A and B are shown apart, each in its own frame.
Chain A
Amino acid sequence: MATQHSRSAARLMMAPAVILLLGWMLVPLTMTLFFSFKRYLPLRGDSLERGLDWVGFENYARFLSSSSFWPSVQATLVIVGGVLVVTVVLGVLLALLLDQPFWGQGIVRILVIAPFFVMPTVSALVWKNMFMDPVNGILAHLWRFFGAEPVSWLSDASLQSIILIVSWQWLPFATLILLTAVQSLDSEQLEAAEMDGAPAFARFGFIILPHLARAITIVILIQTIFLLSIFAEIFVTTGGSFGTRTLTYLIFQRVVDSQNIGLGSAGGVYAIILANIIAIFLMRIVGKNLDR
């Protein structure tokens, strides 16, 4: 893009995509902001045609003072953090394993990606009914086989169960990105470290892990964006009970269950703020890692 001419041509060609993206983002954002300052209860007869009452920051104050707000933020962070830890740790190990030459490598690699293709709703239902059901689930049978009392996973260990289900879905993504990173490592570096007297664990810690740092930050960044808004997995399993009500789920309940669109919109704005705080933190870390 050297000349003035090619620069303006490039701008012109990118314009449709940029305008579309901006529209997609800006319209809902403006509507959310607009509703969050209004009293909007459809069941009480409020509607756009009749005009909505301006209530200032009342929705914001109510959402924040609700006893479910802070627990929902906590649940969100626990789930996001838990899934990140599980997927990154297992992802690194799986990537190292899949990098080894073995029989049937191609098929195994495809199988590893498979969970990513299963819809969140479906995978959560499969986990709920086939694995975690305290009467008929495979885990319950396994527990009984060893003479133990089956665990009612989704009520007794609800957060852990959700983390397990979501991790299962996101592990392929982490594994794939980390596998490509592992494959890009210069094998001479590992051989040099071997000759320098580094045993396998030291080679992992000093050579492989630093090499993966960049890929790991990318995995964390991308997954965080998607994990902050997980919904289907909670909706079809616990329905937000047993301490699994995330911020996203709380907003859903305010809007759909309580039919309070203004209050839900205010919650949406809080969610945007929370996401941005986390994004700024992550960008700092990622920026540091990517600059090298």
Chain B
Amino acid sequence: MGRIVLDQVKKRFGDVTVIPELDLEIEDGEFVVFVGPSGCGKSTLLRLIAGLEDVTDGKIVIDGTDATEVPPARRGLAMVFQSYALYPHMSVRKNIAFPLRMARLAPAEQKRRVEQAAEVLNLTDYLDRRPGQLSGGQRQRVAIGRAIVREPSAFLFDEPLSNLDAALRVGMRLEISELHKRLKTTMIYVTHDQVEAMTMADKIVVLQAGVIEQVGSPLELYRRPRNTFVAGFIGSPKMNLICGPEAAKHDATTIGIRPEHIDISETDGAWKGTIGVSEHLGSDTFFHVQCDGLAEPLTVRAPGERALSYGADVHLTPRREHMHRFDAQGLRID
């Protein structure tokens, strides 16, 4: 079980309000990702759920019981920290067994659970090593192992992959997703990387300055961003946001069009422009095109390899059905 409800939760540090007032429901078994730029309060929110920070006002309900005043150890949650927070003087085995030891489980049961967790996480060969002798990915797995042996009602991940190199991050992303599929336990995951959010989440919560901008499945957020912030944050590369007369033509203050929804042609199109930098990824080519009459250059995706040189004249055509329109407050117009 792991249904977590935040009811009008507020958090202030002295005079600084980090989270003004926030309501959120997390269903049992969901993989929820809190995503937002750094300093948006996502880590604070996670620590409030964990009980490592006290809420200033409001309630946190875990599985139907008010957990606002319950100490962290008794909330039945397990956390994986950004720095992994492994105990450096203990072997991997002792690290993973630590929560069980604190819960005074029988040694035989401790051993069984530790070995089971080690097997799941491919750590069996490393059980007698110290954290200092492990690679980043292995340390990460030990931290996860220490979380799963407790059989918590929910896992909390605080930017767990930010200390890993790019290749390892992709691998660990997959492993955590698989773990979620197998355990079917609620997971709350904090990241500033929208790719992690898109690939792993059942539900994404986009935060800015402590306020929830939008909640929804990855594709909902991709297809129908509620405002310009979400539109610009979700998707890679970023959505092109165009203001001014070009937007006014579509009865909007701002229009948004994703790089993958613009067709590029050498002969004709809606907008005329010149190519700036081009990024060749092999599978795709991204062009930065400065269009006549637009302030910012547009990013355009062309599938496969396209050979267009710097300074070449091109024509761009946005696909009308994929265009997003926003009003003066930055809210979506349907």
Contact = CB atoms under 8 A, between A and B. Distances in A.
Interface stretch (A8-16, A118-126, A202-210, A243-251): A202-210
Contacts of A210: 87, 89
Contacts, number: 62
Given A198-B73, A198-B102, A211-B89, A188 B82 contact: yes
Contacts of A195: 50-52, 72-73, 77-79
Contacts of A192: 79, 81, 85, 87, 146
Contact of A197 (B52, B88, B103, B132): B103
A5 B208 CA distance: 58
Nearest to B82: A188
A292 interface: yes
Given A189-B86, A191-B85, A292-B130, 11 more contacts: A191-B72, A191-B81, A193-B87, A193-B98, A194-B71, A195-B72, A195-B79, A197-B74, A199-B73, A207-B87, A213-B89
| Chain B binding surface, main DSSP class | loop
Given A189-B87, A195-B73, A202 B52 contact: no
A188 B85 contact: yes
Interface residues of B, number: 27
Closest 10 CB pairs of A and B: A192-B85, A196-B99, A188-B85, A197-B73, A197-B102, A210-B89, A188-B81, A189-B85, A198-B102, A195-B72
B131 to A, nearest CB: 11
A193 B85 CA distance: 9
Contacts of A189: 85-87
Interface of B: 50-52, 71-74, 77-79, 81-83, 85-90, 98-99, 102-103, 130, 132, 146, 150
8 contacts: A188-B85, A191-B79, A192-B79, A192-B146, A196-B99, A197-B74, A197-B103, A207-B87
Interface residues of A, number: 19
Nearest to A194: B72
Contacts of B88: 211
Q: Is the interface of A mostly helix, strand, loop or mixed?
A: helix
B52 A191 contact: yes
A194 B78 CA distance: 10
Contact of B73 (A196, A206, A211): A196
Contacts of B99: 196-197
A196 B150 contact: yes
A156 interface: no
Interface string A161-197: 0000000000000000000000000101101111111
B98 A206 contact: yes
A21 B130 CA distance: 40
B102 A202 contact: yes
A191 B46 CA distance: 13
A181 to B, nearest CB: 13
Contacts of B81: 188, 191-192
B85 A186 contact: yes
A201 to B, nearest CB: 11
Interface in A205-224: 206-207, 210-211, 213
Nearest to B71: A194
A198 B102 CA distance: 6
Contacts of A194: 52, 71-73
A186 to B, nearest CB: 6
Nearest to B89: A210
Contacts of B78: 195
Contacts of A211: 88-89
Contacts of B71: 194
